[in-house]
Structure 1
Amino acid sequence: MLFVLHVLFLTDADKRIKVANPVVEMDGDEMTRIIWEFIKEKLILTNVDVELKYFDLGLPYRDQTDDQVTIDSALATKKYSVAVKCATITPDEARVEEFGLKKMWKSPNGTIRNILGGTVFREPIICKNIPRLVPGWTQPITIGRHAFGDQYRATDFVVDQPGKFKIVFSPADGSTSKEWEVFDFPAGGCGMGMYNTDESITGFAHSCFQYAIGKKWPLYMSTKNTILKAYDGRFKDIFQDIFEKNYKPEFDKLKIWYEHRLIDDMVAQVLKSSGAFVWACKNYDGDVQSDILAQGFGSLGLMTSVLVCPDGKTIEAEAAHGTVTRHYREHQKGRPTSTNPIASIFAWTRGLEHRGKLDGNPDLIKFAQTLEQVCVATVESGTMTKDLAGCIHGLSNYHYYTFFSNLFKKKNTIKISLSRLTKSKIYLFFLRWLLKSIKGILSVF
């Protein structure tokens, strides 16, 4: 059925959507790597004629290249402005042993973000039939995570005896060094030194203000400046200065606002809110709170993740979840799995939509937006994977799709108002084809 649909669609549409400039593709690991390839072949390349600059970020090849492939992929993203990334493994001791790695390589996401800078924006994919753990969240909340420094580029250590922990700053101009005594250890313990830069914080601020303007939503920035008066105070001061000098008139025009809040106060406010705002977080705060938001809206499998660079032009889109190792282990044993592909599909659509905007390609933009709408419509019709079905029905095999379902023997139809999406006959056909194709993907995984 899927093959016939492909042939019919390509015959009606005559040709694929032409894309003028390349997109960087970063492949990944485990179950998401399998899903990624399926999405690319069945949904993307059958309909979009795009040159993909391919980089294999699977852990074996990262090890083979001493992680140079990760650096190369980030530099290519700088060159071509758009990247789509599959989920990847960040190795720990067990992974080093499992893969026989040369060393414990750093997080590829961390490496890429440190090269590109900018902000990771995460936003839930809303499906009306997926219940929210926080029912008051009737509209999306976008979280902007600073993608540089702090704990993620820190130097941490363990001490096993008494001694002084000091931090020294030696100016590059050769002037007198400054020294701070952090702690006098009476016995063993641990310590850490971390940093950030004015340049990176400034880029973070610009990305957040521009994103809020694009969404026409208010922006909140959260820190703990009452405790970290200098460190977090620097974030607060830079944000306020940039807002006053560059963005206040536009915010006033749109009748939106910017406000700094303490992180603990902000967390409480988020839970009480109905949504529709952008929340700017420092690196660690954003890491933690984005997962809380994802689960609060229903599932980590329904969360977009886009790194927006300070130039406002360069982005890298990815799924917010990991490589789904547990499902991959089952897949290796030949057992059925029910792995949610939607966040990976949205990684492709967000990247392609941005490519379309940069290139002035309305057909590509429409394709990306249509594919997203059909993903949501598919779930809202009742066709979904186990993680989403569990939110509604509990984990009964009756309510979700696996490889062994007899999906293609059924005459499944999805009743949505196709005419409200577009009046084009080609796109109407395309929508119907996508609905069935996405059902096919759900049935495979």
Structure 2
Amino acid sequence: MVKIKVAHPVVELDGDEMARIIWRFIKEQLVLPYLDVELEYFDLGIEHRDATRDQVTADAAQAIRKHGAGVVCPTITPDEARVAEFGLRARYRPPHATLRDVIGGGVFREPVVLGGLPGQGRGRPGPVVVGRPAAGRRGVTALRAPGPGTLTLTFTPEAGGGDPVELEVCAFEGPGAASARCRTDASVRDFARASFRYALTRRHPVRLTADDTGPTKYDGRFRDLFREVFDAEFAADFAAAGLTCEHRPAEELVASALRGEGGFLWVCRDDGGDLRAEAVVQGSGQAGPVTSVLVSADGRTLAARPAHGTVTRHYRRHQQGRATSTNPVASVHAWTRALAHRAALDGTPEVTGFARALEEVCAETVEGGQMTADLARLVSADHPWLTTEQFLETLDTGLQKKMAAR
């Protein structure tokens, strides 16, 4: 079989534990046999991150920004126990936090729709995609008030920028706690552009939530900037595509999702989007694998990853020589989303077709009743399931048949 040529590199960020084991199989059995692709590889396993004092993460982020397409394996975010376990020299921040700082834009979490599962299947509304800002939140600061006193918020302009502004926040009558947050206009505009471009690509209307009962100078500014960017830069494209952009109360969108409605991009103004995403996905009958893509404001750069961790519990079983049933579908879709974006940048429909074919194999396999234990439990308590290796081998067989028939 002649391999399909990928015109430009894809940046690969390797990870840890069970996710790393699955990652290697996907790359070696489901990608490289079919694609002639240059992978610019970075090992983000925790030992190598420690050996480089995490310089490897910064280098990887810059490589993704340079080439425009990256695929990211889940990595360990060390807590104090992990620092002790690996003898780390520091408690490193999550790699995706570094990627967000470098690439900016927005993060979009999207359930993988698989037939054969309760609440999913062909013909149902599309998934609820949840977006949140990638970067730009600065100066998140907290304090403990030891006793009575007054908390103030002060803004001191640079020279020539006017007089300082001081506001009283709280008069503490006793001990307490407080936090302050801020976000730049530029970061909100970047998030808006990333959101609208992603919505156009996925053909989803946009639903924006900002708290109308909260601080109007914070939430209101967020909403106003979104509307400003939409009206000036995207309204015509949305109209041509038959898509809309609306502001909706959060409780209304939650109710819509729980009723089974979908097929829209839910834009959240802050980091609570991660929690809201999980609640909606689980509660609206869309339980299953979830992908997460980081998209730059100009839409050129995309980094895709599965929206789960390194699956430590399964890795411990694997280390003991025991069988596991770890779901690889989100990791497969991280590869397909990165490859499809690479194809869109390069104008290579053959690569797009391959990515689509691999996603179809995943869906057809699950629809045919072959799945890992986590998905089987969604069907029934006694539904049969495959081990990690059996499921991956089934995907491999299905892909071979599909590609041979093309």
TM-score calculated relative to the size of structure 2: 0.91
| Aligned residue number for residue 311 of structure 2 | 324
Contact 2:343 2:351 survives alignment (8 Å): yes
Give the match's secondary structure for 2:114. Answer: coil
Aligned counterpart for 1:249 among listed residues 236, 247, 250 = 236
| Aligned residue number for residue 3 of structure 1 | none
Matches within 5 A, 1:13-412: 13=1, 15-132=2-119, 138-150=125-137, 154-173=140-159, 175-272=162-259, 274-296=261-283, 301-394=288-381, 396=382, 399-402=384-387
Post-superposition offset of 1:431: 6.4
Query: 5+ unaligned residues in a row in structure 1: which ranges?
Result: 1-12, 419-425, 433-445
Post-superposition offset of 1:190: 2.1
Post-superposition offset of 1:153: 6.0
Cα 1:38–1:133 change in 2 (3 A) is closer
Contact 1:147 1:283 survives alignment (8 Å): no
- Percent identical residues: 45
CA distance in 2, matches of 1:17, 1:232: 47
Q: Which moved more, 1:369-378 or 1:107-116?
A: 107-116
Give the residue type in structure 1 aligned to 2:143.
Answer: F
Contact 1:133 1:297 survives alignment (8 Å): no
CA distance in 1, matches of 2:348, 2:389: 39
CA distance in 2, matches of 1:90, 1:77: 20
CA distance in 2, matches of 1:158, 1:103: 25
Give the match's secondary structure for 2:142. Answer: strand
Post-superposition offset of 1:269: 3.1
Give the match's secondary structure for 1:284. Answer: coil
CA distance in 2, matches of 1:36, 1:430: 24
CA distance in 1, matches of 2:356, 2:29: 17
Contact 1:219 1:279 survives alignment (8 Å): yes
Contact 2:113 2:286 survives alignment (8 Å): no
Query: 5+ unaligned residues in a row in structure 2: which ranges?
Result: none
Cα 1:59–1:299 change in 2 (3 A) is farther
CA distance in 1, matches of 2:70, 2:237: 29
Post-superposition offset of 1:427: 7.3
Cα 1:153–1:110 change in 2 (3 A) is farther
Contact 1:298 1:391 survives alignment (8 Å): no
CA distance in 1, matches of 2:388, 2:339: 28
CA distance in 1, matches of 2:284, 2:364: 17
Post-superposition offset of 1:83: 0.4
Q: Please list the CA deviations of residues 254-289 of structure 1 after superposition, one character each: whole Å capped at 9, or x if unmatched.
A: 332211122233322332352121111123231112
| Aligned residue number for residue 430 of structure 1 | 404
Contact 1:132 1:296 survives alignment (8 Å): no
Give the residue type in structure 2 aligned to 1:50.
Answer: V
